[in-house]
């Protein structure tokens, strides 16, 4: 951000581009999304994994998308973006792709 511009959104001090939690599916319970890296693969070796809460001792993934290129990308959810909050996957300072709830799983829009 250019010095003195102020920016539209305030910084999120504890931001982590590869993990985020929040109520992604609107059921009142927090969910978790993480990006993992398969070090055995070359190229697009990232996977997005989403778990719906509440969590058990052996949670089952509600959504898995493999073969992603997440270099220079991240997960975004919640404040300071406007409501209704949606999980967004994408490049920094770009539009990105929404992950929308669809029954017990999700779909990329």
Q: Is 13 inside a domain boundary?
A: no
Q: Please report the pLDDT score of residue 41 as a whole number.
A: 82
User: Is 95 part of a structural domain of the chain?
Assistant: yes
Q: What is the pLDDT of residue 30?
A: 95
Residues of the chain with pLDDT under 70: 1-11
The reply to whether 8 falls in a domain is: no
What is the reported pLDDT for 1? 46
76 is a domain residue:
yes
Task: Examine residue 96 and state whether it is found in any structural domain, yes or no.
Answer: yes
Print the domain residue range for 27.
19-108
Q: Looking at the domain assignment, is residue 26 inside a domain? A: yes
Q: How many domains does the chain have?
A: 1
Residues in the chain: 109
Residue 30 domain-assigned (yes or no): yes
In a domain, 9, yes or no: no
Exposed (0-12), middle (13-18) or buried (19+): which is 62, by Cβ within 10 Å? buried
């Amino acid at each position: 951000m250019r010095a003195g511009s102020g920016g539209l959104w305030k910084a999120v001090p504890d931001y982590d581009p590869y993990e985020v939690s929040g109520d992604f599916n609107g059921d009142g319970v927090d969910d978790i999304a993480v990006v993992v890296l398969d070090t055995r693969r070359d190229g697009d070796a990232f996977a997005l994994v989403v778990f719906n809460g509440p969590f058990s001792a052996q949670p089952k993934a509600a959504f898995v998308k493999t073969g992603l290129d997440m270099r220079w990308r991240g997960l975004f959810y919640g404040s300071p973006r406007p409501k209704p909050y949606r999980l967004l996957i994408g490049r920094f300072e770009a539009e990105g792709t929404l992950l929308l709830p669809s029954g017990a799983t999700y779909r990329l829009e």
